[in-house]
Amino acid sequence: MQIQITSSPSTTPDALVIPVVQTDTLAETLVTIGEKTGVPPSVLNTDFKADAKEVLPLYHPDGRKTYLLGLGKTPGTMDWLRAFRELFFKQKAKLSQQVAIDLTGFDADRVEAVVLGVCGGGYDLRLYQTEKNDTSAFFSEDGQLRLLVDDAQRAAAEQVLTQAEALAATQLDIMTLMNAPSNYMNPLLLADWATASGQQYGYSVKVLHKEELEEQGFDALLSVNKGSDLPPVLIIAEYKPANAANVRKVGLVGKGVTFDTGGISIKPSTNMHLMKSDMGGAAAVLGTVEAAAKLKLPVHLIGIVPATENMVDGSATKPGDVIGSYLGKTIEVIDTDAEGRIILADGLGYMVSNYQPEVLIDLATLTGSIIAALGYHAAGLFTQNDELATQLIRAGDRTGERLWRMPIWDVYKEDIKSDVADLKNFSGKPIAGSISAAKFLEVFTENHPKWAHLDIAGMAFADTEFGSQKNATAYGVRLLIDFLRNL
């Protein structure tokens, strides 16, 4: 599909989408639309209220179609994105090869959400189905999307379009990484993906394999891996712009558990098949590094991903075992299903010891506790740094990938106090689980002054129009790219 910005289309498109905000002047807006489409405004006023995601298709005598797309009263970025994604996903088999979207009267910034929504609508979750008989003329190589904007907005819209296309392609790849089952996406294959991406987009990728991890003392990562037949890896992706000496250095660490049984503290079987998604933090980190390289952002970015399976066999780490870590701190393993924080301990320790980033952020599908607290509408943000919290929350508000700040007071240190080791990985209490997990991770940041932990358990895998069960959202990539742009 090819996308272009225009203020005066040379030909009449086969299909036109007109987004409509539900304002107090909706009746007047529908009069204008009626004049353009030849449909009486009285009919439009009766049949279309511009509710969020509401669609009214209009058919013209010459075969053309016009879709009125409702956005609701005060649509934010995510509302625009989801409305366009659902429309294009549901209509993709019916869409003609040429489609136009009328964005006249809207700010150029809306182009990003629209393009991400349209491209997302072409996503196909049927990754391994052998029979796919339906085809889409619009989402083919010859498909054409024209975005109609005001003359005054055209230059800005062109710039936004370049960024949006780069982000859209990365997000679709990240969704496939997460949606792939664990026999198609294990730690080694995840490292291969990162290596190929680095070669394509011009950033360096180094992979530490099991022998090197053993030599360098990644005892925490290795302990989680003990029950798996597949070896762990540590992926180090580094993007450096040409003038790296004059830019900020940011470190990202992502949890990369490609399948999580819970280990000896085994999970219930009901939804265990969804645990292929437990590398959502890794996907966000790798996607952010790739997107930053594609956009040539003026930031020195290091992404570290400890990757492993958490499986069950006779060699697996047992509850009550005491293990080491890259920084030398000892950990009493109370619950082997609290494995994400254990591998992040080594990822964070390696980052602060070897790269000393000015800003340090980790992301993980870490706890069910954060879902109990926030549901599926925001990720949990944990940080002692007020300035960093403000920057991240603003990025979340702008992108619609929202964050909510949680307490991380020192009184919660009691929850990770161990009788036999430096700390324990689980409090054993049915309360404040996401907070005690954050306090555990904080120990391995070596008191980094600008560290934030994002618990994205409720956001990385969600119900969408793509399938009948939860699937990947690529949450975190747009959030972090926006944060880095404004850093």
Residue 64 is part of a domain; what is its CATH number? 3.40.220.10
What does the pLDDT read at residue 223?
A: 98
175, part of any domain: no
One DSSP character per residue, 177-201 reads: HHHS-TTTS-HHHHHHHHHHHHHHH
404 shares a domain with 312: yes
| 53, 240, 267, 329: the active-site residue | 267
Q: Is 132 marked within a binding site?
A: no
Phi then psi dihedrals of residue 200, to 5 deg: -75, -35
Given 341, 424, 439, 478, the catalytic residue: 341
Q: Give the start-end residues of each E strand in 365-440.
A: 379-383, 403-405, 423-424
Query: 111, 130, 165 — which closes off a domain?
Result: 165
pLDDT digits (tens, 9 = 90+) for 444-455: 999 999 999 999
Confirm whether residue 260 is marked as ligand binding: yes
Over residues 302-311, the mean pLDDT reads: 98
d(CA 360, CA 352): 8
Same domain, 184 and 157: no
In the chain, the number of structural domains is 2
Kindly state whether residue 173 falls inside one of the protein's structural domains. no
In a shared domain, residues 211 and 146: no
Q: Is the pLDDT of residue 200 over 80?
A: yes
**Res. 244: pLDDT tops 80:** no
Sign of the Cα torsion 341, 204, 452, 218 reads positive
Of the ranges 31-40, 146-155, 263-272, 382-391, which one carries the lowest mean pLDDT score?
Answer: 31-40
CATH of residue 226's domain is 3.40.630.10
pLDDT at 236: 98
Are 407 and 435 spatial neighbours (Cβ–Cβ below 8 Å)?
yes
Residues 146 and 216 in one domain: no
Q: What is the mean pLDDT of residues 428-435?
A: 95
Instruction: Give every CB contact of residue 387 below 8 A, 6+ residues apart in sequence.
Output: 450
Chosen domain end from 112, 139, 165: 165
Mean pLDDT of the chain: 96
Query: Which of 116, 133, 165 is the last residue in one of the domains?
Result: 165
- pLDDT at position 467, please? 87
Q: Is 453 exposed, middle or buried (0-12, 13-18, 19+ CB in 10 A)?
A: buried
In a domain, 170, yes or no: no
Domain assignment of residue 22, given as a range: 2-165
The response to whether 415 counts as a known ligand-binding position is: no
- Say what the pTM is: 0.95
Annotated binding residue 339: yes
Q: Within this chain, do residues 303 and 230 fall inside the same structural domain, yes or no?
A: yes
Instruction: Verify that 156 and 187 share a domain, yes or no.
Output: no
Decide if pLDDT at 10 tops 70.
no
| CB 295, CB 166: distance < 8 Å | yes
Q: How confident is the model at residue 11 (pLDDT cuts 50, 70, 90)?
A: confident
267 classed as catalytic: yes
* Chain mean position to CA 64: 36
Q: Tell how far CA 415 is from the center of its chain.
A: 30
Q: Give pLDDT tens digits for 365-402.
A: 999 999 999 999 999 999 999 999 999 999 999 999 99
Give per-residue pLDDT as tens, 27-63: 999 999 999 888 999 999 999 999 999 999 999 888 8
Cα–Cα distance between 81 and 379 in angstroms, integer? 19
Measured CA to CA, the distance from residue 236 to residue 303 in angstroms comes to 6
Q: For residue 428, is it left (φ>0), alpha (ψ between -120 and 50) or beta?
A: left
User: Burial letters for 299-333: b for 16+ Cβ neighbours within 10 Å, e otherwise?
Assistant: bbbbbbbbbbbbbeeeebbeeebebbbbbebbbbb
One domain, residues 333 and 233: yes
278 has binding-site annotation: yes
Is residue 341 flagged as an active site residue? yes
